[in-house]
Structure formats: structure tokens, C-alpha cells
Amino acid sequence: MNQLEALKKMTIVVVDSGDIGSITRYTPQDATTNPTLILQAMSLSYYQDLIDESINYAKKRKGDYKTKIVHATDKIAVSLGIKVLNLISGKVSIEVDARLSFNQELCIKKANKLINMFEEEGIDRSRILIKLAATWEGIKAAEELKKNNINCNLTLLFSFIQAQACAEAGVYLISPFVGRIYDWYHERTPIIPYQYKRDPGVMSVHKIYNYYKSHGYSTIIMGASFRKKEQILGLAGCDRLTISPSLLAELQSSTDVIERKLFGAKNVIHLSRKITESDFRWIHNQDVMGVEKLSDGIRKFGDDQIKLEQVVEDRF
């Protein structure tokens, strides 16, 4: 048994890619996408017709030129999502424009639009996770969307208070960014030799996992953004792990034994506390890494969304 097969026995493995070839090769239950991955996928030859189809769709919709460009990029994300869903049994995550991350109302509006576009194509909303940045506005939007059976994946999660607020809001799933946390600390104090128990990204997920399980929260924890195989193995047993094709290949090529690192809690203590907006903003503000990486992640996803719109505009 290779390490990927062994990992699948203790953790749901999700592929972090929009590449159909990778999804077919690694047979995940679920898949995640984001503007960066979609932008990469759009350079592949077999997606060119999808871009043209999305542009034709947008031209028939109401709105000015700029609005039609947005319609086209939304259609690209949905069409790519449908291609992925045809290959997996579970869910696909589709990201809301990062530039809306600080507007709860617009996050909700965009999420509803994307869900409606999937449902127009016969895809049930139960198979879609709407990705929102784990800002206060994103978390509150997810809380409202859940009332209409729209589940969300709260991404760009770096600070512990983000995880606490997501759990209290009843968010379906969170994506702690292990690799980006590691990057921030490694730039300041390199971990040499590397040990997963000294990796701040891995340890952040251990802390969240133990907190969720010991307090009975149902929110799913999906570790994300890995830089090395050892980070993944250090989280064996986590609810889910979304992994890039290159690291999936590394796992598949090794038959070394792996051990479960995360276990459910024996005793559950339910909390009655409620995090306020001011609590969230102040406590998150105290986490310098969390503040910097959340802002940086939103900017980068926003930049890639702009690049995707430019690709569409050049062919419109």
C-alpha cells in the first residue's frame, strides 16, 4: 500500500486543482478550486472551448460591458466546476471574488448567483461549497447562506480566532492554510532540520482540531496549502486534506508506513460563549502573521481574478 492509499483510510483526500487529468489520476472524493488554479487551467488547450462558451453565455445576459465580463468569468468557474463534478462523487469548492471579502451582502449575492448557475445546469446545491475568505463579513455571510442550504468553505484561515468564529457560526468547512503559515515563520526562523512538530502551520491545525473535537463543533477541518509531504503526514487523521497534484504524486510513489496523528476527543464540553465582532477584530489583530497572511491572500486572489477577467476581455 502506498502512502496515498494509506492516508485515504484515515482522512478524506481532496485534490487542490482544476486540472481534469490530475483529478482523474488521483480519484479524490472532493476537489477545490480558486482563481489562481482556474487561471492556470485556462492556459490548457482543452479548456479553450469552455472560455468561448462562457463568453457567448455572457453576451446573452443583461448588463453593461463590465458586467458581461463578470458573467463570463462566473460561467467559467461554474463550467469548470461541472467538469470536475463529473469525475468525482463528492463536492467541488468554487471561490467568490476575493474583492468582495469585506462586504457580507455582496458575498451572499455572489454565492446565490453561482448556486443558481449550477442549478440551471442540473447540479444540486448539496454538491457545491462556496469559498469565502474568513473575514468577519465572510463568516457572517456563510452563516446566512447556510439557512438556504448553501454550504461554505471558509478559506484563507490563519488565526485561531478565525477558526473559533467559524465554528460558532456553524460553517460547514474551514481551510487552514498550513503552508502559508509555515512560510511566514520560516522566513523569520527557519526550521532546520525540519520536524512537523515544530511547524507552526501543522501545529495550528492540531490546535483547531483538538478544540473543535473537544467542544463538539461539527465544522469540518480541511488542511490546505501544503509545501512538503511531511506537513501532510503530520496531519494524518484530519477530517480532510486538500493536496496539490505534485504532492499527491510524492505520496503515491512512497510505501513508507504512516501513522495517524489526529484523533477525536474522548470527552466533549459544549461552550456557551459567543464571539462578538469587536472580539474577532481585536484578537485577530493581535496575530501579526494572521493579519499579514489574510490581507496578502485576499490581494493575491483578487489579482488573479483581475487577470482572469483580462483573459476573457481579450477574447470577448
List residues with catalytic annotation. 131
Interhelix angle 48-59/288-315, nearest 10 degrees: 80
Q: Render the burial of 65-84: b for 16+ CB within 10 Å, e for the rest.
A: eeebbbbbbbbbbbbbbbbb
Contacts with 314 (C-beta within 8 Å, 6 or more apart), sequence order? none
